[in-house]
Amino acid sequence: MDSFRYGLAILLIRCPDLRPYAHMAHSWPEDIENYGDAVRFRDKLRAEGGDKVLLEEYERLCIQLEEEVRSHFFAGHDPS
């Protein structure tokens, strides 16, 4: 699965309140791809039990990217 589709799928699972806005996701493909890539790497670090500092950094990055993408969805748009 490509990074955009993966990122969007994870975002919609974690944030079901965004589902009515999913049709707008193509407006921010790079942000959603970055989120998908960060989540994949974070999950890989979790599974491997590797570098704890790097894992904490990616935990924060995923939260930051999720908040950023959420703000795009809610920036004055109504679901259709």
Q: What is the pLDDT of residue 75?
A: 85
* Distance between CA atoms of residues 25 and 31, nearest Å: 9
Q: What is the pLDDT of residue 74?
A: 83
Q: What is the pLDDT of residue 77?
A: 59
For residues 48 and 25, the answer to whether their CB atoms sit within 8 Å is no
For residues 31 and 47, the answer to whether their CB atoms sit within 8 Å is no
Q: What is the pLDDT of residue 6?
A: 97
Profile the chain (80 residues) by mean pLDDT over runs of 10 residues: 94 95 92 97 93 96 96 69
